[in-house]
Amino acid sequence: MMIKRFGDGRDWFFKQRFGMFVHWGIYSVAGWQEQMHWRGHMLSKDYVIYKDQFNPVKYNPEEWLDLVQDAGMEYVCFTTKHHDGFCMWDTALTDYKITNTPYKKDVLKMLADACHRRGIRLGLYYSCPDWHHPNSINLGGNHQLPVPNPGDQPDLMKYLDYVKGQITELCTNYGEISEFFWDIPPRMDIPEMNAILRRLQPNIMIDDRGYGPGDYSTPERCVPDGQSFTKPTEACQSVGAQSWGYRVNEDYYGSRFMMHCIDKVMAMGGNYLLNVGPKPDGTIPEQAADILRKVGTWYKKVKEAFVDCETCPELCGSGDYMVTRKGDNVYIHFPKGLNSCGYALNPIAVTPKSAVLLNTGTKLTTTVEHMPMLWLTGKECLHVSGLPVETMQNECAVIKLEFNPGWEEFIWK
């Protein structure tokens, strides 16, 4: 099944399917978590002082983009304003911004220029809640401060004017923007918000967490059940279990875990946005970078099994694997890992022209035969064997089967 495409400039989303999420802000100074203002029960007066300590003198967007390319990624989604309300660009609408720190430079402008120069797409994250703006209002949702800041004057219309002004800046001053990631649904439908984005950036993809339905869904920190998505989807996950922003003592996931998550989501037809949290000096923690490089080594070897492919749950006769297809090429994915050195691939009952383990280039043995565990069917099916199960435990295996035209006649009906 191929997810219905838009037929316009937004269709980049279905080809460039792997991106880097970046959560970076003044919260990195403390090295605890990006929501420490709320989760750490901090008063605003104690939190805002991080602005005066934020000085990322080692920030180099070219090094970030080197890592993006090492990981096989093709776009970046950058947090312009998280829930704390601090703005990582030179906005004219508040003094609570990056250019009023000791660093003084517009880090978003630097990143945008580097992305456009290198042909890497740029997406922007923007939080709907704002724990700093005096007019922001608790609309009954989550991620809200329990007690208003002293002097706050909640006013929905004034706050929405602020948001409109900021998204206009973001979509006007930083070149082409390919993605807009609203966060924390405000529980109200205001079509004007997404209309501003589309008017200024006609090819932009907009997520479903904002002031309208958007273009795509965003499962977070989970791998959905099922064999295929029915609509455009971009799953997101961080390399660390505790935080999206920089954390000093982070519980980093293993690269194998990340590969299996990515394989499952992409085999279902979704995109994947993998997050890192840069340090307050602007560098990406080496443990995080190492995970991305290892994932990238794997992803580049198996990428053809995702790009321009359709999901094929009808060719999957077992919960041990998933199937994608591009023409006469069929790809067998093992998001749960290899359990054995061979598999019966019913309902396919024809020998392929070739069978290769994409990870290593190893040629595999194929036969069409009656398999003992499928004896009740009374049918033959394709058996693939010779998989290096013992040495393939640290990455997600993908088999490529290349068939001759007409092979579909030999699928069980």
CATH number, domain of 240, equals 3.20.20.80
Provide the sign of the torsion angle of the four alpha carbons 38, 40, 102, 78, taken in this order.
negative
Task: Dump pLDDT digits (tens) for 389-402.
Answer: 999 999 999 999 99
Cβ-Cβ contacts under 8 Å for 98 (sequence gap 6 or more): 54, 86, 87, 88, 89, 90, 105, 106, 107, 108
Same domain, 24 and 167: yes
Q: End of a domain among 305, 336, 371?
A: 305
Same domain, 233 and 283: yes
Q: End of a domain among 290, 305, 320?
A: 305
Query: 3 lies in a domain?
Result: no
Of residues 270, 330, 302, 325, the one with CA closest to residue 3: 270
Q: What is the pLDDT of residue 205?
A: 98
Same domain, 177 and 122: yes
SS3 7: coil
347 cis-preceded (ω within 30 degrees of 0) = yes
Task: Dump pLDDT digits (tens) for 193-245.
Answer: 999 999 999 999 999 999 999 999 999 999 999 999 999 999 999 999 999 99
Same domain, 298 and 317: no
Same domain, 25 and 42: yes
CA 413 – CA 408 distance, rounded (Å) = 10
Query: 4 lies in a domain?
Result: no
Same domain, 354 and 404: yes
Q: What is the pLDDT of residue 147?
A: 78
**Residue 100 phi, psi (nearest 5):** -105, 20
Query: 173 lies in a domain?
Result: yes
Cβ-Cβ contacts under 8 Å for 352 (sequence gap 6 or more): 330, 366, 382, 401, 402, 403, 407
Number of other CB atoms surrounding residue 128 within 10 Å:
23
The string of DSSP codes covering 286-335 is HHHHHHHHHHHHHHHHHGGGTTT-EE-GGG--STT-EEEEETTEEEEE-T
> Could you tell me whether strands 380-385 and 365-370 are parallel, antiparallel, or unpaired per DSSP bridges?
antiparallel
Of residues 167, 180, 236, the one with CA closest to residue 208: 180
Distances (CA, A) of 11 to 17, 104, 229: 11, 37, 16
Same domain, 234 and 345: no
Same domain, 380 and 243: no
In this prediction the pTM is 0.96
Range of the domain at 399: 312-410
Query: 238 lies in a domain?
Result: yes
Query: 162 lies in a domain?
Result: yes
Query: 167 lies in a domain?
Result: yes
Which residue type does 74 have?
Answer: E
Same domain, 172 and 242: yes
Same domain, 214 and 327: no
Q: What is the pLDDT of residue 140?
A: 58
CA 410 – CA 350 distance, rounded (Å) = 6
Same domain, 225 and 256: yes
CATH number of the domain where residue 379 is located: 2.60.40.1180
Per-residue pLDDT of the chain (413 residues; tens, 9 = 90+): 789 899 999 999 999 999 999 999 999 999 999 999 999 999 999 999 999 999 999 999 999 999 999 999 999 999 999 999 999 999 999 999 999 999 999 999 999 999 999 999 999 999 999 999 999 986 656 788 887 888 999 999 999 999 999 999 999 999 999 999 999 999 899 999 999 999 999 999 999 999 999 999 999 999 999 999 999 999 999 999 999 999 999 999 999 999 999 999 999 999 999 999 999 999 999 999 999 999 999 999 999 999 999 999 999 999 999 999 999 999 999 999 999 999 999 999 999 999 999 999 999 999 999 999 999 999 999 999 999 999 999 999 999 999 999 999 999 98
Same domain, 207 and 249: yes
Q: What is the pLDDT of residue 312?
A: 96
Domain count, the chain: 2
Q: End of a domain among 248, 274, 305?
A: 305
Query: 168 lies in a domain?
Result: yes
Query: 294 lies in a domain?
Result: yes
Q: Are 324 and 305 in contact (CB under 8 A)?
A: yes
